[in-house]
């Protein structure tokens, strides 16, 4: 009987979590995927009305999450696709951790994102094309991970992009040209064993070494 009650309670709390779907629930869902040996997420209490008093989370005056600052926090685990539902997020700072798994394509829904710093982690898989939808993005640092595949050419549409770094990964193909890519230094691309030179005009579909 106790077990049944326990299960029902668990189920009910699960149902209320997914139906409420607030920004706190989204962040707490991310927390459940993480291992946090230094207890930097201790203040993340899901029973509070919003996550605005949690450490490493910043809200605007309307209690909407605009920053997540968890750089150099010794956390491991994976990113959740639900992070893409933090509609007002401007800064996603998760650098210098041990985050593994893929970059969820859902992060392309973060319309107001100014900075995505995921460098120095253990991320795998491809750079999602969907990141080309992040029209406000100025800083995209994915260096020092284990990313594979090519740099999506779609990223040349990010007209506000000022800093781009994918060095020290396992990327292949050619470095896109056009848009902001004319301004990035070669050190943004080094140490990708199969990443070739600049695309030649008229040969845009040629993928070096992919």
Ligand X SMILES: *[C@@H]1O[C@H](CO)[C@@H](O)[C@H](O)[C@H]1NC(C)=O
- DSSP code, position 180: G
Minimum separation from the CB atom of position 150 to ligand X (A): 15
At closest approach, how far in Å is the CB of 95 from ligand X?
14
Sign of CA dihedral 82, 84, 85, 88: positive
| Contact criterion met (CB below 8 Å) for 22 and 46 | no
Supply 14's token pair. 């699960």
The least CB distance from residue 119 to ligand X, in Å, is 11
Q: Which is nearer to ligand X, 134 or 164 (CB)?
A: 164
Cβ proximity to ligand X, 134 vs 189, nearer residue? 189
Site for ligand X in 186-205 (CB under 6 A): 191
Q: Residue 148, interface with ligand X (CB under 6 A)?
A: no
170 touches ligand X by CB under 6 A: yes
Query: How many angstroms separate the CA atoms of 5 and 63, rounded?
Result: 35
Binds ligand X by CB under 6 A, chosen from 26, 168, 174, 181: 168
162 touches 141 (CB < 8 A): no
Q: Is 38 in the site for ligand X (CB under 6 A)?
A: yes
Report the 10 Å Cβ neighbour count for 138. Answer: 17
Please give the residue ranges that form the binding site for ligand X (CB under 6 A).
37-38, 74, 146, 168-170, 191
């Amino acid at each position: 009987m106790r077990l049944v009650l326990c299960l029902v309670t668990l189920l009910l709390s699960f149902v209320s979590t997914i139906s409420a779907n607030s920004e706190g629930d989204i962040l707490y869902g991310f927390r459940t995927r993480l291992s946090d040996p230094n207890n930097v997420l201790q203040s993340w209490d899901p029973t509070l009305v919003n996550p605005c008093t949690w450490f490493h989370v910043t809200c605007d005056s309307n209690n909407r999450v605009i920053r997540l600052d968890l750089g150099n926090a010794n956390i491991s685990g994976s990113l959740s696709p639900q992070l893409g539902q933090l509609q007002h997020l401007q800064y996603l700072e998760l650098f210098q951790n041990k985050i593994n798994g893929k970059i969820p394509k859902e992060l392309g829904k973060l319309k107001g994102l100014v900075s995505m710093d995921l460098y120095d982690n253990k991320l795998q898989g491809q750079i999602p094309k969907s990141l080309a939808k992040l029209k406000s993005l100025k800083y995209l640092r994915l260096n020092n991970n284990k990313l594979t595949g090519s740099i999506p050419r779609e990223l040349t549409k990010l007209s506000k992009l000022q800093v781009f770094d994918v060095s020290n990964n396992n990327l292949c193909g050619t470095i896109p040209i056009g848009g902001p890519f004319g301004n990035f230094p070669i050190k943004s691309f080094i140490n990708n064993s199969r990443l070739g030179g600049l695309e030649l005009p008229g040969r845009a579909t040629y993928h070096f070494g992919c």
